[in-house]
Structure 1
Amino acid sequence: MAIETTTSPTAPVRDPLGSADTSGSTRLSTRDKLVLFVLCAAQFMVALDFSVLNVALPALGADLGMSTSALQWAVTAFALPSGGFLLLFGRIGDLYGRRRLFLTGLTLFGAASLLATFAWDPASFLAGRALQGLGAAAIVPTGMSLLTTTFPEGPARDRALGISGTLLSLGFTIGMVAGGGLTDALGWRSTMGLLTVFALIVLPLAPGLLPESRTPDRPRLDVPGAVTVTGGLLSLIYALSTAADHGFARSDVVTTLIAGLLLLAAFVAVESRAHAPLVSLPMLRRRTVAWGNLGGLVTFSMMSTVVFVLTLYLQDVLHLSAFETGLVFGVQGVLSVVAGSFTPKVIGRFGARRTLVGSLAGQGALVAALLGLNSHTWSVWLATAAVSLASMFHLGAIISYGLTATSGVPDEEQGLATGLVTSTQQIGLTVGIPLLGVLATTSDDLLAGVHTVLALDAAIVLVACVLVALGLRRTQPRI
């Protein structure tokens, strides 16, 4: 039986966007810590899945007989359902029970990871990856909703989101470092086996710890909205994922890109007339939701692009080994943990709005510093320092955008708000590399291409910083 969550009616009130009331306590009970462990472990597992397989792709292709061009589907098969079904599953969790859907997603993810581990041909492996993505689409929004409804707005939620954001960033980084080591030592199947182990650890603990939560009434599910947004996101993610490897000239990329944009436009029209919309358009008109999610979209998409082009630069320009490249990003992971420990304190002092703006400014400035990279080996020190410090600001933006975009939202709409937050995250991780990374991979001079990408990346982050600052400036403090 699940333990019910209780929230004290006298919990300290704070302005989540401006200066905070520092009288609240961040101390968590034993049960709170266990709940946080379960939710964060699940999020860490999903973040790990985004990167752990990357360096194992050549070995996987040789073992299963997949061509180089087909290997993109090892990534795309996961990205399509994990991004496409996020909003739908977030809303289903709101209506029919977040804990129930979280456990279903966790079970599916574990079974799918086992299938991928023991895959006997490309079809069985890709089926496992697609089912992993479907499980992740259920885990991520419901896990975030359970976190924000379990921990009341204020210092406790700040700390919980700080830990969650740290592990999210760390999971992506550790996946890149661990993937190579596991593949060299145990083979590519061990990368999928690691995810199975995580699921087996979390799943037995979750039912007895997590509270059930749902909206008090059950309006009918917005089926037209679900069809248009899911179809639109699936089409858009497919187009951008395929373009990352083959460019935008292919007919299927152009067709699915146009279809995705048309379906998303139809979704907006449907939602404006729906009795119980999947996405509340008035919610999107909230400054905190709109500008917070813009900050999140930019920080995720631009940082994933930096990691991608730096991987190319370190191995193809400086000729570092995969292991040495992993060590560079290992430093990034360590500093992300450091940032996660003090970011909630920064938010407690300055508020989420100022932290988000400052974090975007820091990330943009440090990406600009990477323009000093050249073909000399000493550049590895500049790359390590700049990307690691940029990641600290990136983590600050992750935590503060999540707080900004969910602040002041009623509990019954937290699944919707966190569905938007996690959709922003997944789309951000998907769009950055196809939009900018292709400029590096198609350049005759790789170093020049890397400089072009980094210059555009820094400019986009800094422009977004200004827009978010202006957009949130007139936001009124919540009393």
Structure 2
Amino acid sequence: MSTGITSPPAARPARFTGRQRLILLVLLGAGFMLSVDFSILNVALPEVGDGVGLSLTALPWIASAYALPAAGFTLLCGRLGDLLGRRRLFLAGIVLLTTASLLGGLATDPAMLLTARTLQGLSTALTIPASMSLLTTTFEEGATRDRVLGLNGALLSGGFTIGALLGGTLVSALSWRSAFFINVPVAVAILVLAPLLIGESRVPDRVGLDVPGAVTVTGGLLAAVYAIVERSVPAGAAGAVLLAAFWLVELRSPAPLAPVRILRRPTVKWGNYAGLVVFGTETSMIFMMTLYLQNVLAFDPLVTGLIFGVPGLAAVLAGPVAGRLIGRRGYRTVLPAGLAVQTLATVPLIFLGADRAGLAVLIPALLVSFFGHVTAIVAYTVTGTSGLPDHEQGLATGLTTMTQNVAITIGIPILSAVAATGTSELNGIHLALTVNVAFTLASAALVWIGLRPRARHSANTPAAAVADKVQTH
């Protein structure tokens, strides 16, 4: 078990069997496909808008229609996987994704397109927590699971990068509709293989769903995320009230959706806070650099995708490395270190000028930043799912996935509002990146402190076991 306490090097994880490799192919492949879906249309928004008659001001809703249900329903779907069966939820999500992708590829008007993107977001909420909890229950906690989550983090990051590259390539070579249709054969292959390889999780006897908790948390998250995206004060107030009501409901519920005792665990609390920072700040940094490359340096979307893609694909190697580092150094060390590397690599970007010579600084900085980013993704996932029994892994992975989706959704609007206060576009980008760096460094320090062992005992003594138990509980 990874404790966050520096310890001797862990034993090498056992080699995966052939069946385990196929399970990884199915589960990691599904997560990779869905991460591609999130970004594949981002570089092709004007073409998509023209194709269905969507106005320029409404283009952000192509991303928001996906992100809102992905963020709002993830926690509920994660818990449903615990109660109804994770394989069942996983397959339902893939079926919904197939339907949504066909609908999006055939869309002829804005309503049809946005409905497809909403269904894709909902399929993400169904699929990702289920696939993650199937991973964490198939592979035992420790070095083997760390290795698996390292691969997952690498593919997750690679999916966002490849989505941007693939989007530009498909739109240039075929049409924006191919960005939807490409999901269908992959989804069908997963639907054929998954029932043959993956057994159903054990469903607890007669445990009912916490309906008041499900309604308040889902409504609260949807309202809160919508408030940030649309800068709506009434929606923000409604979200705050509903989330406060959710907390009170969970304190009194006999079978809570998210037991407060779990939410109070240092690993769950600080792991998910770190995930919010990891995704929110890096996504917004990439958005700022997209504006810089296209609006300041006047590169087209395909070149922009290539500039992000080269360091992004190289940084995928950080996933397996992060799994090994966590096994040796503990998540308490690796998580804030990954955050620090991610943000320190952003510092040079604050000083980029309006000439293309800045690419000599930008590309290496992106490589280092992406490497730290992937490392932090793996570390926060390990942290947020450590020390919990199998029957609560759906909730734990639902929380980590919800955190990711919320962060991706709110990061860009928040830093865009900061950038809008600048005296020029370049000045605004510099200002937003400065806030990004300051907030992330402060957060890395908070995570380091929050995950500190509760008791100080020397290593390799019987008392160290007490510190281990306190740290993971």
Whether TM-score is above 0.5 comes out as yes
Change (3 A) 1:180 1:270: same
CA distance in 2, matches of 1:209, 1:41: 14
Contact 1:14 1:20 in 2 (8 A): no
Q: Does residue 118 in structure 1 map to residue 106 in structure 2?
A: yes
CA distance in 1, matches of 2:244, 2:2: 37
Q: Which residue of 1 aligns with 2:253?
A: 274
Change (3 A) 1:161 1:201: same
Name the aligned partner's letter for residue 146 of structure 1.
L
CA distance in 1, matches of 2:14, 2:430: 43
Q: Which residue of 1 aligns with 2:430?
A: 451
Contact 1:335 1:389 in 2 (8 A): no
Q: CA deviation at 1:16?
A: 5.7
Of residues 345, 360, 367, the one that matches 1:388 is 367
Q: Which residue of 2 aligns with 1:334?
A: 313
Q: Which residue of 2 aligns with 1:75?
A: 63
Name the TM-score, length of structure 2 as normaliser: 0.94
Q: CA deviation at 1:20?
A: 5.9
Deviations 1:354-394 (A, max 9, x none): 11011111112111222221112111121111122111001
CA distance in 2, matches of 1:224, 1:274: 9
Q: CA deviation at 1:398?
A: 0.4
Q: Does residue 283 in structure 1 map to residue 234 in structure 2?
A: no
Q: Which residue of 2 aligns with 1:3?
A: none
Give runs of ≥4 in structure 1 deviating > 4 Å. none
| SS of structure 1 residue aligned to 2:345 | helix
CA distance in 1, matches of 2:233, 2:327: 46
| SS of structure 1 residue aligned to 2:189 | helix
Cα RMSD over matched residues?
1.5
Moved more, 416-425 or 433-442: 433-442
Q: CA deviation at 1:82?
A: 1.1
CA distance in 2, matches of 1:14, 1:443: 44
Quote the sequence identity (%).
Answer: 48
Of residues 165, 168, 171, the one that matches 1:183 is 171
Q: Which residue of 2 aligns with 1:193?
A: 181
Change (3 A) 1:391 1:83: same
Name the TM-score, length of structure 1 as normaliser: 0.93
CA distance in 1, matches of 2:23, 2:5: 26
Of residues 444, 450, 469, the one that matches 1:471 is 450
Change (3 A) 1:218 1:169: farther
Q: Which residue of 2 aligns with 1:60?
A: 48
Contact 1:117 1:190 in 2 (8 A): yes
How many residues are paired up? 458
The 5 A counterparts of 1:22-33 are: 22-33=10-21
| SS of structure 2 residue aligned to 1:272 | helix
What 5-or-longer segments of structure 1 have no aligned partner? 1-12, 243-247
Q: CA deviation at 1:48?
A: 0.7
CA distance in 2, matches of 1:433, 1:230: 22
| SS of structure 1 residue aligned to 2:201 | coil
Change (3 A) 1:442 1:324: farther
Q: CA deviation at 1:26?
A: 3.8
CA distance in 1, matches of 2:100, 2:5: 40
Change (3 A) 1:108 1:69: same
Q: CA deviation at 1:406?
A: 0.8
Q: Which residue of 1 aligns with 2:464?
A: none
What 5-or-longer segments of structure 2 have no aligned partner? 455-466
| SS of structure 2 residue aligned to 1:218 | coil
Q: Does residue 314 in structure 1 map to residue 302 in structure 2?
A: no
CA distance in 1, matches of 2:185, 2:312: 22
CA distance in 1, matches of 2:326, 2:61: 39
Q: Does residue 265 in structure 1 map to residue 214 in structure 2?
A: no
Contact 2:312 2:366 in 1 (8 A): no
Contact 1:24 1:154 in 2 (8 A): no
Q: Does residue 50 in structure 1 map to residue 50 in structure 2?
A: no
Deviations 1:131-179 (A, max 9, x none): 1111111001111100100000011101110111111001011111111
Contact 1:231 1:263 in 2 (8 A): yes
CA distance in 1, matches of 2:346, 2:137: 35
Contact 2:66 2:119 in 1 (8 A): yes
Deviations 1:317-373 (A, max 9, x none): 122222221111112222222212322121122111111011111112111222221
Q: Does residue 88 in structure 1 map to residue 89 in structure 2?
A: no
